[in-house]
Amino acid sequence: MSVELWTWIIVLLTFGLYVGIGIWARVRETEGFYVAGRGVPPIANGMATAADWMSAASFISMAGLISSLGYDGTIYLMGWTGGYVLLALLLAPYLRKFGKFTVPDFVGDRYYSQTARIVAVVAAIFVSFTYVIPQLVGVGTVFARYLGVPSITGLWIGVAVTALFAVLGGMKGITWTQVAQYTVLIIAYLIPAFAIASILTGNPIPQLALTFSDITTRLNQLQVDLGFTQYTQPFQRFDMLNILLITACLMFGTAGLPHVIIRFYTVPTVKDARASAGWALLFIALLYTTAPAISVFARYNLINTLHGKSFEEVRQIDWVAKWEKTGLLRFVDKDNNGIVTIAKGNAFKFIPGTTRPDVNNPDTASANEVFINNDIIVLSTPEVAKLAPLIIALVAAGGLAAALSTASGLLIVISSALSHDLYYRIINPRATESQRLLIARIGILLAVLIAGYFGQNPPGFIAQLVAFAFGLAASSFFPTILLGIFDKRTTREGAIAGMIVGLVFTASYIIGTSYFGMPRWFLGVSPEGIGTVGMVLNFVITYFVSRMTPEPPKEVQDLVESVRIPRGAKDAHYH
């Protein structure tokens, strides 16, 4: 059967499974909707956390970024993985012991302030929306290539499926759907990796194939022959300062992402929170230790498949013709010799404010004649390696699973921020269980429709959206949560001032430099790394303002002390 037919079959089966789980897991109480009734076993929560955390950025984009950037691309690998370790060790167990539903819930009660709660709600919604848009764009990309459906139509199909299982099952439905999605995405990632490792090196284990074969040496030489620097040469895209700041921003941003944090509220005990963090790290490692190998294999195969071939020959390759239709793969014969040249530089100039090529405006400053969007590198790798159509279809289903799992987790954050933190805790504290559940479901529906609109009409700086999300999370939530747990002297005035300054500084810098063309006025720091500076500002301002304002009430200080107690007969719940 064709790739497209296999993809339709697998996508219909997996989407049917996700919707079926949502119907089976439908909930009738808010605790089930927000935190899955706090009854998720650690191993299942570990799988759900891994799926929640490994978004389309991890599955589709990360290996593509490493493949494109070489050594410098490993900032994403180090940053995202290190951030999860920070979250698991520094935050997750203590937040679980606090026993709340959401991150703004923790902020509002720990800092004894509705103003602090509102600032946290705004930050949670802003971070979640900026992160959910690229997930839906990824869904549209997969549909456009493998199912012959326009990307906008595919995006709305993904919106509809996500809305159905999220609205019905809330966090309970999302959790068990994410268990299924993790299973799909990890199988889809590993099978082609094993196959390509065996073909290129004779060793079927990707990690060993990368480490103990000469594939990296061959790629380095190939790069040099084409005028690039060696693939493993450091500091080509970013200088040392930006490497440090971007990696730190991704780490602290990961640790502050509200949709990952709330996963640890769904297990029965603090012990289970620690156990699920360990399981999640294992499940994440399966993909993250494979990504560098996939990156090398993909770049090696792409260069060998395209460079030096005639345009006529290349365009007769099935996967080339199909990806070219999506606009994510483009060619231009600059020297009119009919031969494809891959070289350093851009094939086309980019449309201002975007990462899309202007196909009517070749970049004559370079000899490069091929534009390859980073997001297609993983998705196209099985086709480039001529693997079976079933495996290619699995990769497409895996990309969809990664995008939908993270999108659903982000939507529950937006919904709970609106329904629990804003409506119930501030507007109508006397709301009944059924009223709160109705508002929560309406919140998810509104959130998914708004996210779908922005996915269909993304801002001009779409390439910076993921950096935006992580920068905002690092500069707002991470310092506030960390000090809230480990410094009982931190006051509401300090927390509010720190969050606002961190958010405003980071957001204005990213928007100014990415969208309005402002210079990188702070030491040349890139928008991807400025969240680290915003985080430091947050820490400093929170600390000094807290020391200049009256200390928190005794009951709040006692609460902080109790949350840090490592063992106890029972977990604390402060509702």
The secondary structure element, H or E, covering residue 331 is strand 329-331
Q: Read off the pLDDT of residues 408-452 as tens digits, 9 standing for 90 and up.
A: 888 888 888 888 888 888 888 888 888 888 888 888 888 888 888
Is the pLDDT at 464 greater than 80, yes or no?
Answer: no
Determine the Cα–Cα distance for residues 44 and 176; give it in Å rounded to an integer. Answer: 8
Residue 238 has pLDDT above 90, yes or no: no
Per-residue pLDDT reduced to its tens digit, 73-100? 888 888 888 888 888 888 888 888 887 7
Q: What confidence tens digit (pLDDT) does each residue in 117-128 have?
A: 998 998 888 888
Cα–Cα distance measured from residue 175 to residue 46, given in angstroms and rounded to the nearest whole number: 10
Q: CA angle, 175 as apex, 172 and 181 as ends, to 5°?
A: 140
What local confidence, expressed as pLDDT, does residue 551 receive? 93
pLDDT at 242: 93
pLDDT value at residue 353: 60
d(CA 549, CA 545): 6
Q: Do the Cβ atoms of 139 and 155 come closer than 8 Å?
A: yes
Instruction: State how far the Cα of 329 lies from the Cα of 322, in Å rounded to an integer.
Output: 9
Rounded mean pLDDT, 490-517: 90
460, pLDDT greater than 70:
no
Predicted pLDDT of residue 99: 75
Residue 103: other Cβ atoms inside 10 A: 31
Structural contact between residues 266 and 171, judged by C-beta atoms closer than 8 angstroms: yes
Domain 3-302+380-564: CATH superfamily, name plus number:
Sodium/glucose cotransporter (1.20.1730.10)
Q: Give the mean pLDDT of 503-509.
A: 92
Please say if the pLDDT value at position 540 is more than 90: yes
pLDDT at position 293, please?
Answer: 93
Give which of 415, 407, 409, 411 is closest to 155, Cα–Cα. Answer: 407
Of the two residues 191 and 265, the one the predictor is more confident about is: 191
Taking the chain, what is the end-to-end CA distance rounded to the nearest angstrom?
56
Q: Give the model's pLDDT for residue 569.
A: 40
Between 542 and 265, the more confident residue is 542
Q: What mean pLDDT do residues 3-12 have?
A: 87
Percent of the chain's residues with pLDDT above 90: 28
Q: Where do the structural domains in the chain lie, given as residue ranges?
A: 3-302+380-564, 303-379
Q: What is the average pLDDT value for the chain, to the nearest integer? A: 85
- For residue 248, pLDDT beyond 90: yes
Cβ(113)–Cβ(492) below 8 Å: yes
In Å, how far from its chain's centre is CA 390?
A: 26
Q: 353 — alpha (psi -120 to 50), left (phi > 0) or beta?
A: left
The whole-number pLDDT of residue 462 equals: 43
Angle at 14 between CA 9 and CA 16, to 5 degrees: 95
DSSP per residue, 219-246: HHHHHHHTTPPPTT-SSSSS-HHHHHHH
Least reliable range by pLDDT among 40-49, 155-164, 464-473: 464-473
**Concatenated DSSP letters of 132-146:** HHHHHHHHHHHHHHH
Residues of the chain with pLDDT > 70, as a percent, come to 96
Angle between helices 42-53 and 151-201 (to 10 degrees): 100
Angstrom distances, CA of residue 274 to CA of 41, 120, 174, 406, 511:
12, 25, 21, 21, 37
Burial group, residue 561, by CB count within 10 angstroms (0-12, 13-18, 19+) = exposed
In angstroms, what CA-CA distances link 128 with 105, 121, 344, 461, 535? 16, 11, 36, 16, 18
Cα 320 to Cα 59, 145, 305, 388, distances in angstroms: 21, 11, 10, 16
Alpha helices in 92-236 (DSSP H): 92-98, 103-110, 114-146, 151-201, 206-212, 215-225
138-142, 200-204, 454-458 — which is least confidently predicted? 454-458
Question: For the chain, how are helix, strand and coil distributed in percent, rounded to 5?
Answer: 75, 5, 25
Does the pLDDT value for residue 573 go beyond 50?
no
pLDDT, tens digit, 9 for 90 and up, residues 47-74 = 988 888 777 777 877 888 888 888 888 8
Q: pLDDT band at residue 567, thresholds of 50, 70 and 90?
A: low
Cβ within 8 Å of residue 438, ≥6 positions away: none
